[in-house]
Amino acid sequence: MPAAPPESRVPSSESRGRQHIILLHGLWMRGFALSMLHHRLMEAGFRVHRFDYLSVAASEQRILDRLHERIAGLADEADTVHLVGHSLGGLLALRVCGEDEPLPPGRVVCLGSPLRGSAAARGLARWGRGGELLLGHNRQLLEQGFERWDGAREVGMIAGRMPVGLGAVLGHLQGEHDGTVAVAETRLPGLADHCVVESSHTSLLFSPEVARRVACFLRDGRFPAGSAAGTPVDFR
């Protein structure tokens, strides 16, 4: 009997148990917001952990130090440690993976993260001291993002285009957006894959379709065939 094609093979329970995921929430959120996504990825066979942090009060370096420690702490029991970050969480995931410190292998999925900088964050900052306080210590990362991704890990992006949220008012978002982040702000050069779904910024965390695509990318390095994306892309 011929061997099953790679896409139809189901990993053994042992191999699936060695694939861990760390979930990172976004600005003004806490770890409980990730509960539904956590549950769905566990059902997909992954070991899942939530990384809770103070998105406004904690300094970026403090968050990165704790995150690095959390990833490294799983090295003995995990073959891979993937990162899945929503909004600011995706920016922090790329930041920690871009450091020189060694980490276990794995992939990254960003959910609605403004990897090229957030117009909504820049609009909020224009409110003056009050806006700056709301953005906290991660203001610069949110406003500026990255120029491109050159790290070793494959990174996939799932962006939303359901325009429900206050971000459009704050940042005058152009083109398709999820109510907080423009699709164009998610298109970072160097991504392995990118797709767009019918979701608002917050509902990315509750969508079963998003969870399915996350699991697919973490296993295969690509989103499912037929998703609204190209093959490897290099946005310019």
Domain coordinates in residue numbering, the chain: 14-220
* pLDDT, tens digit, 9 for 90 and up, residues 91-138: 999 999 998 888 999 999 999 999 999 999 998 888 767 777 788 889
Burial of 52 (0-12, 13-18, 19+ CB in 10 A): middle
* pLDDT, tens digit, 9 for 90 and up, residues 30-57: 889 999 999 999 999 999 999 999 999 9
Question: What is the number of alpha carbons within 13 Å of residue 21 lying toward its C-beta?
Answer: 28
Q: Does the domain formed by 14-220 have CATH 3.40.50.1820?
A: yes
> Which of 186, 194, 195 is CA-nearest to residue 233?
194
- Name residue, tokens 């065939």: 225
In three state form, how does the secondary structure of 180-214 look?
CCEHHHHCCCCCCEEEEECCCCHHHHCCHHHHHHH
pLDDT at 124: 86
Task: Please state, as a whole number, how many other Cβ atoms lie within 10 Å of the Cβ of residue 82.
Answer: 28
pLDDT at 17: 57
pTM, 2 dp: 0.88
The separation between the first and the last C-alpha atoms of the chain, rounded to the nearest angstrom, is: 47
Contact in structure between 119 and 185 (CB atoms under 8 Å): yes
* pLDDT, tens digit, 9 for 90 and up, residues 84-102: 999 999 999 999 999 888 8
